[in-house]
């Protein structure tokens, strides 16, 4: 469980998710309401490896990485709420209705708001919206499944 009820630090995220640099795409999570909703924070910096090729002279965070940051936010709050010391993984299952409205560039602070739409057993579905300075930059409906590491999802 996180150190506080309303925030998950990067140290706690390391305990909840298997991702590491360069693929850990959230820096902290704030405003947590169990696994119902939360806000993930991603500080976008120029030294991230994808900016070397996307695009030279005009760095833009790839949309697929914004969606991954959304999924990691969902996965972290599911893990924080349900693992309670057990070794489990949260697998990304589906993306629906993804829309990208504005480019995300180095220097931006990406705020990812996730809200649980429903849960059935070990499957979770979240509405996700990403903002920069209050402007919506992306949205998607994401589902994930929590499993034991030995289990393989079908």
- The verdict on residue 66 lying in a domain is yes
- C-alpha separations of 148 from 40, 70, 75, 85, 90 in Å: 25, 22, 14, 12, 9
Q: What is the largest CA-CA distance in the chain?
A: 47
Question: Scanning the structure block, which residue is given the tokens 């697998």?
Answer: 91
Give the pLDDT of residue 153. Answer: 64
pTM above 0.95, yes or no: no
Tokens of 10: 């990067």
How many domains are there within the chain? 1
Residue 55 domain flag: yes
pLDDT in tens, 2-40: 444 589 999 999 999 999 999 999 999 999 999 999 999
pLDDT band at 154 (very low <50, low <70, confident <90, very high): low
Query: Tens digit of pLDDT for each residue in 130-140?
Result: 999 999 999 99
Q: Burial of 135 by CB count in 10 Å (0-12 exposed, 13-18 middle, 19+ buried)?
A: exposed
Q: Please list the helix, strand and coil fractions of the chain in percent, rounded to the nearest 5, in that order.
A: 20, 40, 40
Residue with tokens 């990812």: 112
- CATH code at position 129: 3.10.129.10
In a domain, 20, yes or no: yes
In a domain, 77, yes or no: yes
Instruction: Identify whether 123 is part of a domain.
Output: yes
- Residue 153 covered by a domain: no
Could you list the beta-strand ranges (E) of 101-134.
Answer: 109-120, 123-132
Domain hosting 78: range is: 7-147
- Phi and psi torsions of 91, nearest 5°: -100, 135
Q: Does residue 154 lie within any of the structural domains? A: no
Report the distance separating Cα 54 and Cα 104, nearest Å.
11
For residue 51, is it within any domain?
Answer: yes
Residues catalogued as catalytic: 54
Please give the structure tokens belonging to residue 86: 């057990």
Question: Using alpha carbons only, how large is the chain's radius of gyration in Å?
Answer: 15
**pLDDT tens across 46-94, in order?**
999 999 999 989 999 999 999 999 999 999 999 998 876 666 788 999 9
Tokens of 89: 């993984």
């Amino acid at each position: 469980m996180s150190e506080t009820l309303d925030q998950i630090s990067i140290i706690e995220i390391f305990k909840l998710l298997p991702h590491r640099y360069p693929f850990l795409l959230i820096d902290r999570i704030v405003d947590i309401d169990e696994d119902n909703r939360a806000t993930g924070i991603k500080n976008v910096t120029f030294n991230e490896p994808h900016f070397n090729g996307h695009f030279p002279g005009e760095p833009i965070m790839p949309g697929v990485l914004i969606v991954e940051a959304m999924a990691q936010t969902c996965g972290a709050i599911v893990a924080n709420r349900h693992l309670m010391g057990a070794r489990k993984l949260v697998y990304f299952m589906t993306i629906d209705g993804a829309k990208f409205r504005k480019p995300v560039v180095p220097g931006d602070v990406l705020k990812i708001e996730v809200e649980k739409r429903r849960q059935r057993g070990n499957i979770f579905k979240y509405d996700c919206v990403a903002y920069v300075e209050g402007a919506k930059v992306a949205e998607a409906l994401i589902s994930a499944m929590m499993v034991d590491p030995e289990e393989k999802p079908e």
